[in-house]
Amino acid sequence: MMAIPPPLTTYDNDIDILLSQMTDEDKIGQMTQIAIDLILKDPSKPWNEIEVDPVKLTTAIQNYKIGSIFSVAATGAYSLEQWHDIIGKIQDESSKTSLKIPVLYGIDSIHGANFVRNSVLFPQAIALAATFNTTMVREIGKIVARQTRAAGIPWVFHPQVDIGRQKLWPRLWETYGEDVKLVKDMGRAYTESMQGDDLKSLVTVAACLKSFVGYSHPQSGRDRTPAWIDERQMQEYFLPPFEESIRAGAVSVMINPGDVNGIPGHANYHLMTEILKEKYQFEGFALSDWEDIIRLHTVYHTADTPKEAVRQAIMAGVDMSMVPLDFSFFDLALEGIRDGSIPISRIDDAVRRILRVKYALGLFDGRNAWPDISTINTFSNQIFDQINLQAAHEVITLLKNDNNTLPLIETKITSDTKLLITGPTADVLTSLNGGWSYTWQGNDQSIYPTNFTNKTILESIKRYLGTSKVEYINSTTFDQIIDMSKVLDASVNASYILVCLGEQAYTETPGNINDLILDDAQLQLVEQLHNRTDKPIITILVEGRPRIIRRIVELSSAIVMMYLPGMEGGQALVDVLFGKYNPSGRLPISYPKYNHHLSTYDYQWCETSLGNNIDVEFEFGHGLSYTTFVYENLVLSPSPILLWDEQLSISIVVRNTGSVVGDHTVLLFISDLYRSVTPPNKELKGLNYQRQLLASKDK
C-alpha cells in the first residue's frame, strides 16, 4: 500500500479562523458548484473559440461567492493553453474577493485527462479490470493525475467504485466489474496513485469516488432508475469498495443520482451521514450529481418545493450542490438558513469539509497550485504512450480460439493472403474509447486531433499488413444493414474474415437499451458470412457491456473481447492477432448467454437446485492464451485448519507448458459449505497482482 496524504483535519485550525470571518453568503457560495457554461460568452461555440465572459465570471464569484466550477461546454475538450487561460481567470477573480477563497475546479477524467486535448486516452475501467493488474492501474492513475493537474485542474470525478453487477446498465464500463475484491483493489490502487502522498504536489489530484452508493444496480437496467438492495447485500457487496478507497485517503465522493429502496441517494441520511461520515469517519465532502438536488422535487417527489429539496439534501449529508446551470441552490439554501429550517451548524460542517480539500490541494497558494505552462515539458511523452499500449495489450481477452485460428503468424500469411475486414467498429475511434472522450458521449470523431485518426482497427491492420492484403467493406451500421451483397461476394476470395462488432460510444441515459442481445444487423452479418463461405471468421467485440452473441458464437472460429481499450486498442489488437503479443486478459464479469439469465459468478448454491442451471456464455475469469499453463505444488501454511483469527498463506507454482511466452493471473476462490445465511458457491479472495512473463517451460 502507498503512503496517503495527511488527515484532512490537519487544516482545521486555519479553517476555524476562516469560518469565523465568513458570512452566510460566503458559506453557501462554497457549497455551490456551477458548470463552466455559466461563465462563458457562448458555450455553443466550437471548442477552439470558447471564451470566458468577464461579466458572467464576476457575477458568479463576487455576487454568488461560487466555490466550485466544473466540466467543459458541450462542444468538447480544450487545449492545455486554453485550460490555463480559463483556470487563471477564475482564480484571479477569486483572489479579488474579501476572503480570497479559491475556486475548486473539477472534471470527469474518466480514462485519462479526457477533456484536455492531446492527452493519453487509456482503456476504460471495465477494460482495466480485465488486466487483473493493480500495478498497471497505479501507473495509469499517476499519468491521469499528472496530465489533469498540468491543465490547472486539481480534482477528478473518478474512480467509479460502485460494483458492476447489472449488465444492462449503460455505465457498466465505468466500473471494475462484478467482484467485490477486484473492485476494492482496483479502486484503492487508482485512488492512491492519483492522490499520492501529497495533494499539494503539482502531479497529483483529489479523487472523487462515484457514485455513493448502489447507483450501478438499477432494477430496470436503465440509468437513474430505482435499485432495490437489501442491507446484507449493501454491506457485503456495494459498500466495501467505498470503505476501502476512503481508508486509502479519498477526499470526496459523488452521491448516487438514483434511489435505493425508495429513498433517493440525495436524501439518504442513513447512507450519507450514518455510514459515510460517522461509521467510516470520512473527513472530506459529499458532492451531488448533475441537478439531482432539485430532482428531489421534480423527479422523485419527496420534496413538495425546490426549497424543501435543498433542505432535504443538505440535512441528509450533501455538502456541495452540482446545481449546475443557475444559482437557485444559493438562493434557496440562504432562505433555509434565514428561516431556521437549515441549522448553521450543518452549513459550517459542509463548508469545513470543502475547505479542508482546498487547503490540502494547496489552492490558497494561488497560481502556485498548478504548473506554469512554460515549465510543462512532459505533458505527453513516449513512455506514457508505451504504458497505454501495454495496458491495451493486457486488456484484450481471447474468448474462443478453435483449432488455433489465432495467432495469424507469419507462416499463415503468404503473398496471396487476403484479410477481409467489416463491421461497424472497424474504422471508428469513438467505439475504441467510449464515452467521456473529448465530449460527454464521446461520439464525435470530428474533434479528435488529426494525428489520432490513423489509430482505428482498420488503419492499424493496414499499417501492419499493407493495404494490398486488406479489403474493407462497410456492410452495416450498428443497427442497420447497408449492403450485405458486397461483403458476401468478397468473402469468397478472402483468406480470413475479421468482423468488428460492438457498440457506439455512450454513457448515462443515452446509453439505455431495451435488450442486451447485440443488434440484429450485426448478428446477421456473421450469420450470412458463415452461410456463404467456410473461411475462418474472427469476431472482434468492442463494447462496454457484454452484449449477448449466442447466435454467432458457434459460427466464429475465434472471438476476441476488447471492451473499450482506448486510443492504442487498434495497435494492441494487431499485436495480438499476428502473434506479437500473447493475450492474457480475463473477464471481470460473467458473459451472459440469455437475456433473462444475467447471473454473476458468485451465485448462491440454492440457485442450482431443482434442476436449475447457471448457463453463461463465458465465465468470470475466462480468458485463453496462445500457450498453456499448469498449477503445481500447492502449499497451505500453517495448515488448512485455522482458528478464527488466523490467516492462511497459500502458494502455488505456475508453469508454462507451451511454446509461447505468456503471463497468467492466478485467481483464488474460496467456498463456504455452510453459513448462517445462504452462502455463494464461491468468492474471489486472492490473486497474483504481480504479473510475470513466463517463457516456455519456465515457472
What residues are labeled active site?
Answer: 289
On the 0-12 / 13-18 / 19+ scale of CB atoms within 10 A, 44 is exposed
Single-letter amino acid, residue 409: I
The residue whose grid cell reads 495533494 is 199
Per-residue cell: 224: 437513474
Please give the Cα distance from 26 to 99 (Å, whole number).
9
Q: What are phi and psi of 634, to 5 degrees?
A: -65, 125
Please give the Cα distance from 602 to 173 (Å, whole number).
20
CA 281 to chain centroid, in Å, comes to 26
Q: What are phi and psi of 225, to 5 degrees?
A: -115, 165
Give CA angle at 334 (330, 339), nearest 5°: 155
CA 120 to chain centroid, in Å, comes to 15
Q: What are phi and psi of 494, to 5 degrees?
A: -85, 150
CB 172 within 8 A of CB 506: no
CB 128 within 8 A of CB 141: no
Q: Within 13 Å of residue 357, how many CA atoms lie on the same side as its CB?
A: 34
What value does the CA radius of gyration of the chain take, rounded to a whole number of Å?
A: 26
The residue whose grid cell reads 486539481 is 154
Per-residue cell: 691: 504479473
Between strands 591-592 and 616-618, the pairing is antiparallel
Single-letter amino acid, residue 183: V
Virtual CA dihedral for 603, 606, 611, 615, nearest 10 degrees? 0
Please give the Cα distance from 593 to 551 (Å, whole number).
9
Quote the DSSP letter at residue 464: H
The residue whose grid cell reads 479523487 is 207
Q: Which helix (H) or strand (E) holds 528?
A: helix 520-532
CB atoms within 10 A of CB 380: 16
CB 103 within 8 A of CB 65: no
CB atoms within 10 A of CB 29: 28
On the 0-12 / 13-18 / 19+ scale of CB atoms within 10 A, 689 is middle
Please give the Cα distance from 365 to 87 (Å, whole number).
14
- CA distances to 237, 295, 678, 684 from 672, rounded to whole Å, are 17, 43, 9, 12
Virtual CA dihedral for 477, 483, 488, 493, nearest 10 degrees? -90
Please give the Cα distance from 432 to 567 (Å, whole number).
7
Per-residue cell: 501: 462488432
Single-letter amino acid, residue 660: V
Got the DSSP string for 596-614?
TB---TT-BGGGG-TT---
Buried b / exposed e over 45-58, threshold 16 CB at 10 Å, is eebeebebbeeebe
User: What angle, 0 to 180 degrees and rounded to 10, lies between the N-to-C axes of helices 344-360 and 328-338?
Assistant: 130
CB atoms within 10 A of CB 377: 8
Quote the DSSP letter at residue 302: S
